[in-house]
Structure formats: structure tokens, C-alpha cells
Amino acid sequence: MNIQDVIEALKGKGYVVSYFETKEEAADYLDAKVDGQLVGFGDSETLNSLELFERLSSHNEVWDPQHRPEGMTFNQVGKKVLVTDIYFTSVNGMTETGELINIDSTGNRIGASFFGHDKVYFVVGTNKIVPTIEDAVWRTRNIAASQNCARHGYNTPCATTGKCHDCKSPDRICRALVVHYMKMKYTDMEVVLINEELGL
């Protein structure tokens, strides 16, 4: 995989692309860029590893279902995120040809990635890049979802076997799959690529 080819493919699909060698450099860039804004987060271990919530909260109003104010439910915070000026999330898979792939169980993460914001940032480690959409879909189930289920202690077969069984478990987290073929119309979107293993 040639990272420059991936960057060009993403640009060809309408995204602004920024590239950093480390998550610290990416966090500095985003911290300087987003100031005095209403900001929303989609659940993301990648964003957690950048400590972006902590950094942006000091000079923006940030809503994140993972950092809920006391007394607020997941859905209440998730609804606020849907209409923030700026939205941050990651992806479960990205193709070398520039498609972005996500799965979701509640829908807050993928729902907010379509519409409702002036700008969306997808913050992505290069470990998420695979050759094709089929590879990315495989990755979402057999790596991202399986490891997430194990991490949360969900009662799904993948949590113990490490591979997808297309389960019917009440704990199933693969409930919707989204492929961003191109940047959405009318919304600025930037892919922040980081040359590190980040997230699941």
C-alpha cells in the first residue's frame, strides 16, 4: 500500500486530507483548528487515544456520548451530537481506493456522519486501510466488532472465537453497515490520516 495513492484516492472523492506521522501531531493540528465551536463526537477509540475530548473541551462546547454529563442519557447526548457545527468520528475500515466503512449498533455514530454539520472529520489510523470494500466489511465484523464485543464483555460468539458468526444475539453490535462512496454533498469533510495503529 502506497499512502500517497490512498491520499490521492480520498481527494478524488472530494475529501480534504491531512496526514500525520503521530497521533500527537494530529491532536495538535485539530486542537488549533477547532476553536469556539459546537462540537460532537461519535464513539471512537481513536479519538480517545488522541485525548481529543479533553483537549477540545477546554475551548469548545463538546458533546460526546462517552463523556455524558451526569443525569443525561446516551440518547439525549447523541441527539445533541446530530446537529453540532463540527463532528468527529473514525471508521472501522478504509479502502485503498478511498471508501469509508462503518458499522454501528445504536446508529448515533453513522447517523451523524451523513448530515447536520458544517464539517465532519474522520480521524483514521493507517491500520484501518485495506484493499477493497469486501476486505473492509470483513474487517468491520472479524476485527472491529469482535474485539469490541470482547472488550465490553458482550455475550456474542465473536467475543470468544474472535470471528463473526452472523449472530442473532441481543448484544449484537453489527446492526447497520455504511459505505461512504464519496464525500456527502453540502458538507465539508476531512480525513485525518495518522500513520499509527489506532482504534479497532
Q: Which is nearer to ligand SF4, 22 or 155 (CB)?
A: 155
Cα separation values, 40 from 14, 65, 79, 112, 198, Å: 22, 9, 10, 9, 20
Confirm or reject binding of residue 35 to ligand SF4 (CB under 6 A): no
DSSP 184: P
Choose the stretch contacting ligand SF4; rule: CB under 6 A; options: 67-75, 86-94, 138-146, 182-190.
138-146
Nearest-angstrom CA–CA distance, 35 and 20: 20
> Kind and range of the H or E element at 125?
strand 119-125
Choose the stretch contacting ligand SF4; rule: CB under 6 A; options: 67-75, 115-123, 151-159, 183-191.
151-159
Confirm or reject binding of residue 139 to ligand SF4 (CB under 6 A): no
Q: Which is nearer to ligand SF4, 67 or 175 (CB)?
A: 175
Interacting residue with ligand SF4 among 62, 100, 120, 145 (CB under 6 A): 145
Task: Give me the 155-174 binding string for ligand SF4, x by CB under 6 A, dash otherwise.
Answer: -xxx-----xxxx-x--xxx
Q: What is the smallest separation between the CB atom of 175 and ligand SF4, expressed in angstroms?
A: 9
Q: What is the smallest separation between the CB atom of 147 and ligand SF4, expressed in angstroms?
A: 10
Number of residues that bind ligand SF4 (CB under 6 A): 15
Confirm or reject binding of residue 146 to ligand SF4 (CB under 6 A): yes
Nearest-angstrom CA–CA distance, 64 and 81: 7
Nearest-angstrom CA–CA distance, 92 and 145: 9
Burial class (CB in 10 A: 0-12, 13-18, 19+), 23: buried
Exposure of 23 in the CB half-sphere (CA atoms within 13 A): 16
Strands 188-194, 16-20: pairing is parallel
Q: What is the smallest separation between the CB atom of 150 and ligand SF4, expressed in angstroms?
A: 9
Residues of this chain that bind ligand SF4 (CB under 6 A): 141, 145-146, 149, 156-158, 164-167, 169, 172-174
